[in-house]
Amino acid sequence: MCRDKRWMYNVSPSTINNIKVADNKTVAVKGSGNVDFQIKNSDGIIRKIQVRNVKQKNEESDTESDATNNTITNASSEDDQMFDANSEETKTESDTSEYIPDADTSDEDTMPISNVTLRPRNKPTTYFCHEESPNNFKQLAVPLLKEPQSVEEALSGPMAKEWKDAMNSEFESLLQNNTWTLVTLPENKRVIPCKWVFKMKTNANGEVVRYKARLVIKGFAQKKGIEYNEVFAPVVRHTSIRYLFALAVKYNLYVEQMDAVTAFLQGDIDTEIYMNQPPSYEHGQEVCKLNKSIYGLKQASRQWNLKLTSVLKNIGLKSSSVDPCVYYKKEDGSIVYILIYVDDLLIFYNNKEKGEEIKQQLKSKFNMKSLGPVNHFIGWRIKQNAKRDQIQIDQTA
């Protein structure tokens, strides 16, 4: 916030996709720091935009600019004249009036203002928020609509229908996956509670594109030796990723990406675990005996990794002795490498037929999606040219 914590009154009500700041798209703000804009559209959804104010100071012999992004612009020439201490228009009556002492001051303290040395007036520093592109504010927009923290809050709020549909979709997916079986809780067995977690998925412009509900078991209640044993699951090393990219450039390998849908739900359970029925979907007094892993289990990541690596070995790939998350297969001049990072896979190959064969074998065992040529991976932006002899990697957002 700026010093006077001033809300910008001239922000016009707008839809999410069309945000305007005043008629001339420029707002003068006192103070430095961040300024907050509140926008309320016709649907009643409040949006919040926070813009970084950057100091702009222009003088005859000194020009200072700390601008860090293109949403800040210098003051116009008219503004410079308006704030110029030497301008006749900006002189006030106090500049030429005589010094008037207070009633309780002594005679020796009284003197005309002409005999007093006044501290020179400095030109005030002005801060501007400027919208040069409509995308600047849309990318900074963040929905103030809160994600519900409980089922009751979700089903009683303005987006109750969307959240209910998301819950139904997740519940049906769990049933189709045969995640649990309803049974009577055996004696001397404990039950672990679960809860719904709600998340709004947004695009690059901050617009809500999907309402996601996920059923999560409260894994913190698990006891070691009873509901779980080992929890460690490896991921590919960054050095291995860079090394494989170097090989891809040297040998013109194709680099494609695959994603395991609901990966943690595809792992097999290694212990006997009982869970409460999902809130809002209770049926009688029975409990859920887990047949497969579920989100929140301490060992969910490990169980998924064990199952995936078992399948990779069964289809003929071998694990690297240096990195347990690098698998490879060499056959008749063709070569395939697979890197594993939790539920994301990178596949390097030089023979299209062999590469497609491996991908189809994985799809037959798991619910997987082919994402095509790699674009984003573990926060990296990756670009491979058409000749496959050059790969660019950066972390540009």
Proportion of the chain above pLDDT 90, given as a percent: 49
Which of 177, 187, 146, 205 has its CA nearest to residue 16? Answer: 205
Q: Which residues contact 4 (CB under 8 A, 6 or more apart)?
A: 30, 31
- The structural domains of the chain, with segments of one domain joined by +, span 26-143, 151-394
Contacts 24+ apart (CB under 8 A), 12-18: 13/39, 13/40, 13/41, 13/42, 14/39, 14/41, 15/41, 15/42, 16/41, 16/45, 16/47, 16/138, 16/141, 16/205, 16/206, 16/207, 17/138, 17/205, 17/207, 18/134
User: What pLDDT is recorded for position 339?
Assistant: 96
User: Which amino acid is it at 350?
Assistant: N
- Check whether 222 has a pLDDT greater than 80: yes
- Check whether 243 has a pLDDT greater than 80: yes
Mean predicted confidence (pLDDT) in 377-381: 88
Top mean pLDDT of 30-44, 80-94, 336-350 is at 336-350
Which of 165, 73, 62 has its CA nearest to residue 123? Answer: 62
* 223 vs 54: which has the higher pLDDT: 223
Q: Dump pLDDT digits (tens) for 116-131.
A: 455 555 655 444 444 4
User: What pLDDT is recorded for position 261?
Assistant: 85
Q: Write down the mean pLDDT value for the chain.
A: 75
User: What pLDDT is recorded for position 270?
Assistant: 87
Q: Output the pTM of the full model.
A: 0.60
- Check whether 20 has a pLDDT greater than 50: no
- Check whether 19 has a pLDDT greater than 90: no
Q: Do 49 and 141 contact (CB within 8 A), yes or no? A: yes
User: What pLDDT is recorded for position 177?
Assistant: 86
Q: Dump pLDDT digits (tens) for 176-202.
A: 889 999 999 999 999 999 999 999 988
* 112 vs 201: which has the higher pLDDT: 201
Of the candidate ranges 28-32, 85-89, 146-150, 161-165, the one whose mean pLDDT is the lowest:
85-89
249: pLDDT confidence band, cut at 50, 70 and 90?
Answer: very high
Which of 325, 346, 323, 349 has its CA nearest to residue 335? Answer: 349
User: What pLDDT is recorded for position 79?
Assistant: 40
- Check whether 77 has a pLDDT greater than 70: no
301: pLDDT confidence band, cut at 50, 70 and 90?
Answer: very high
Top mean pLDDT of 145-149, 155-159, 192-196, 203-207 is at 192-196
Which of 241, 250, 270 has its CA nearest to residue 345? Answer: 241
Mean predicted confidence (pLDDT) in 366-394: 90
Which of 36, 42, 35 has its CA nearest to residue 18? Answer: 42
Mean predicted confidence (pLDDT) in 282-308: 93
Alpha helices in the chain (DSSP H): 77-83, 134-140, 151-156, 160-176, 238-251, 300-314, 352-365
Q: Which residues contact 250 (CB under 8 A, 6 or more apart)?
A: none
- Check whether 293 has a pLDDT greater than 60: yes
* 160 vs 5: which has the higher pLDDT: 160
Of the candidate ranges 50-54, 75-79, 364-368, 383-387, the one whose mean pLDDT is the lowest:
75-79
